[in-house]
């Protein structure tokens, strides 16, 4: 045990200094400091007193209501409340907690549905975890980051082939309402069941029924076991909705620090921006463009800057971010969508027209991009995505004009024929994820014209039959594709050969 008297003698001079500093700052360390509620608004409160409260500090109100400091004005404090259902009123006492907003993190959270401060929403009891992380944490330093090189397979053919996503990338999912944005993100989460990627689904400003639907899908598929759901739903206070994506990222960062790959889905950041606007206006921060506060870009930039792929010396973990943004009337140049497009490394654009026509998932390949691109794609894709993209984009260009012309030359007819089959192949239902091998086999076949002789209505059926046969007959080729090797010429020939044989057999059977 340390002998304090001895120590004091030895270090008396330094201790004198420390004593003096403590004495001078006594009011600051007084935990009994108390404030009073001046006025309560929708999800916000104004407080007098608490002269030493810090920005973002958690404050305690009566009946376990919590709030955090948002504005530090000269004679009052603007506070954002975290619970809609606990009434507070003018004159109520407020106390400091001396800690910022934080969230439990750890293995115990897997399979749980919580709110942004860690309160359970799934009826499975309190979240008991050893660690808590502040919801706002600095982004990893540039020197600690590694280039994105490992693919994050979504299981959705059109994305994996033409807009590939890498682990550590930030890829925006953007589209009007009801265009399948959540479905794309959810299918991606469900496809991670066997990949070892930990997923965090963060619902911001969503209806409870929509969140319940997502949780139900995760439960049904078993994906919930490697997933944490963080919910700041539409009936929560704007402060709680606002903190949800930061909390979700902190939860993901815990796993990233363990060297694991993490996927975080933010569904959706338009609602997040709206919550921030609401609380800022209620607390009289000056409005800027579209009434959003001037720092709305920074709000999203500092969130998405935390997504990264760490160097091996830093543990080698990664955090992939899939933020979702809702546009109005396909206006991607509105304020919040342009902000996010410039922050992220690419976007998957979902078009309402395609959705209406039944081309699902409604990804508009021409308006989607992945700036990491092929660098994070398995090698086997590289030989097929070039011809695939070309066939598809030529077809889309021609399709518009071909409607007006009855006399088409053979080459145009052939381009249209191939393009229709590519489109059929890229259609995919919700929950119908395809693994890498199935995807590559199908792409090899379509780009080599194997499907050209079939009616485009039967492409899906032929594809299933064909991939099953190739998997049976060419196990070595399949293994090489899955291991990330390039396709050799003889592999392609073998796949095309089997496809042609199958085509002939079907013809004869007819």
Cα distance between residue 322 and residue 263, in whole Å: 7
With CB cut-offs between 5 and 8 Å by kind, which of Mg ion, ligand ATP, none does residue 101 bind?
A: none
Cα distance between residue 456 and residue 420, in whole Å: 7
Minimum distance between the CB of residue 178 and ligand ATP, rounded to whole angstroms? Answer: 4
Instruction: Look up residue 427 and give its two tokens.
Output: 């259609």
String of DSSP letters for 484-502: TPPPPHHHHHHHHHHHHHH
With CB cut-offs between 5 and 8 Å by kind, which of ligand ATP, Mg ion, none does residue 178 bind?
A: ligand ATP
Dihedral in degrees, nearest 10, Cα atoms 15, 17, 23, 29: -80
Q: Is 183 in the site for Mg ion (CB under 5 A)?
A: no
Q: Is 179 in the site for Mg ion (CB under 5 A)?
A: no
Q: Is 182 in the site for Mg ion (CB under 5 A)?
A: yes
From the list 42, 99, 220, 371, the catalytic residue is: 371
- Residue-wise burial string across 253-271, b where 16 or more C-beta atoms lie within 10 A, e elsewhere: bbbbbeebbbbbbbbbbbb
Cα distance between residue 179 and residue 165, in whole Å: 20
Minimum distance between the CB of residue 411 and ligand ATP, rounded to whole angstroms? Answer: 32
Task: Give the residue with the Cβ less far from ligand ATP, 261 or 424.
Answer: 424
With CB cut-offs between 5 and 8 Å by kind, which of ligand ATP, Mg ion, none does residue 361 bind?
A: ligand ATP
Task: Give the residue with the Cβ less far from ligand ATP, 110 or 430.
Answer: 430
Q: Tell me the residue number closest to Mg ion, measured at CB.
A: 182
Minimum distance between the CB of residue 335 and Mg ion, rounded to whole angstroms? Answer: 20
Task: Give the residue with the Cβ less far from ligand ATP, 127 or 336.
Answer: 336
Sign of the alpha-carbon torsion through 248, 61, 234, 340: negative
371 is catalytic: yes
Residue position matching structure tokens 């090489």: 480
Under a CB-based contact definition with an 8 Å cutoff, are residues 467 and 442 in contact?
yes
Task: Give the residue with the Cβ less far from Mg ion, 133 or 201.
Answer: 201
**The one segment of 25-33, 177-185, 327-335, 502-510 that binds Mg ion by CB under 5 A:** 177-185
CB atoms within 10 A of CB 226: 21
With CB cut-offs between 5 and 8 Å by kind, which of Mg ion, ligand ATP, none does residue 383 bind?
A: none
Residues that bind ligand ATP (CB under 6 A): 175, 177-183, 326, 360-361, 428-430
Minimum distance between the CB of residue 442 and ligand ATP, rounded to whole angstroms? Answer: 17
Task: Give the residue with the Cβ less far from ligand ATP, 271 or 309.
Answer: 271
Cα distance between residue 479 and residue 458, in whole Å: 28
Minimum distance between the CB of residue 182 and ligand ATP, rounded to whole angstroms? Answer: 3
Task: Give the residue with the Cβ less far from ligand ATP, 60 or 177.
Answer: 177
Task: Give the residue with the Cβ less far from ligand ATP, 211 or 391.
Answer: 211
**The one segment of 178-186, 330-338, 370-378, 405-413 that binds Mg ion by CB under 5 A:** 178-186
With CB cut-offs between 5 and 8 Å by kind, which of ligand ATP, Mg ion, none does residue 429 bind?
A: ligand ATP
String of DSSP letters for 317-365: -EEEEEEEEE-STT-TTSHHHHHHHHHSSEEEEE-HHHHHHT-SS-B-G
The C-alpha angle 420, 426, 432, rounded to 5 degrees, equals: 140
* Number of residues in the chain: 510
Residue position matching structure tokens 């907690």: 97
Minimum distance between the CB of residue 270 and ligand ATP, rounded to whole angstroms? Answer: 10
Minimum distance between the CB of residue 248 and Mg ion, rounded to whole angstroms? Answer: 16
- Kindly give, in sequence order, each residue whose CB lies less than 8 Å from that of residue 319, ignoring residues fewer than 6 positions away: 168, 249, 252, 253, 256, 262, 263, 264, 306, 307, 308
Residues found near Mg ion in the complex (CB under 5 A): 181-182
Catalytic residues: 371
């Amino acid at each position: 045990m340390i002998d304090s008297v001895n120590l004091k003698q030895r270090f008396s001079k330094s201790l004198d200094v420390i004593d003096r500093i403590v004495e001078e700052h006594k009011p600051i360390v007084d935990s009994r400091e108390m404030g009073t509620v001046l006025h309560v608004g929708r999800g916000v409160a104004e407080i007098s007193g608490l002269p030493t409260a810090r920005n973002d500090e958690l404050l305690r109100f009566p009946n376990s209501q919590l709030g955090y400091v948002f504005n530090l004005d000269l004679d009052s404090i603007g506070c954002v409340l975290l619970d809609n259902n606990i009434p507070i009123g003018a004159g109520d006492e407020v106390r400091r907690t001396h800690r910022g907003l934080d969230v439990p993190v750890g293995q115990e959270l897997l399979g749980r549905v919580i709110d942004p401060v860690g309160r359970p929403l799934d009826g499975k009891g309190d979240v008991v975890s050893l660690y808590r992380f502040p919801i706002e944490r600095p982004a990893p330093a540039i020197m600690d980051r590694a280039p994105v090189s490992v693919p994050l397979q979504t299981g959705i053919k059109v994305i994996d082939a033409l807009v590939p996503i890498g682990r550590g990338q930030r890829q925006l999912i953007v589209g009007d309402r009801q265009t399948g944005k959540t479905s794309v993100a959810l299918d991606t989460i469900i496809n991670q069941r066997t990949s070892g990627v930990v997923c965090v689904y963060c619902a911001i400003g969503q209806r409870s029924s929509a969140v319940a639907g997502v949780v139900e899908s995760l439960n049904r598929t078993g994906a919930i076991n490697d997933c944490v759901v963080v919910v700041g739903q539409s009936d929560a206070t704007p402060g709680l909705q606002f903190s949800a994506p930061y909390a979700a990222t902190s939860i993901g960062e815990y796993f990233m620090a363990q060297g694991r790959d993490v996927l975080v889905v933010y569904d959706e950041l338009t609602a997040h921006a709206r919550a921030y606007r609401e609380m800022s206006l209620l607390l009289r921060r000056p409005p800027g463009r579209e009434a959003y506060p001037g720092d709305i870009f920074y709000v999203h930039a500092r969130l998405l800057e935390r997504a990264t792929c760490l160097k091996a010396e830093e543990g080698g973990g990664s955090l992939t971010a899939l933020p979702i943004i809702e546009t109005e009337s396909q206006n991607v140049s509105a304020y919040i969508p342009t902000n996010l497009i410039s922050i992220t490394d690419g976007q998957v654009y979902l078009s309402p027209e395609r959705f209406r026509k039944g081309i699902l998932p409604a990804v508009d390949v021409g308006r989607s991009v992945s700036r990491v691109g092929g660098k994070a794609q398995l090698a086997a894709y590289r030989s097929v995505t070039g011809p695939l993209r070309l066939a598809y984009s030529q077809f889309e260009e021609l399709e518009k004009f071909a409607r007006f012309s009855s006399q088409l030359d053979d080459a145009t007819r052939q381009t249209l024929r191939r393009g229709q089959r590519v489109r059929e192949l890229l259609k995919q239902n919700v929950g119908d994820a395809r693994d890498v091998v199935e995807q590559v086999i199908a792409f090899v076949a379509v780009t080599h014209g194997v499907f050209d002789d079939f009616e485009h209505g039967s492409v899906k059926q032929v594809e299933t039959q064909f991939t099953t046969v190739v998997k049976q007959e060419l196990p070595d080729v399949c293994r090489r594709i899955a291991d990330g090797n390039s396709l050799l010429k003889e592999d392609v020939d073998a796949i095309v050969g089997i496809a042609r044989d199958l085509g002939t057999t079907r013809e004869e059977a007819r």
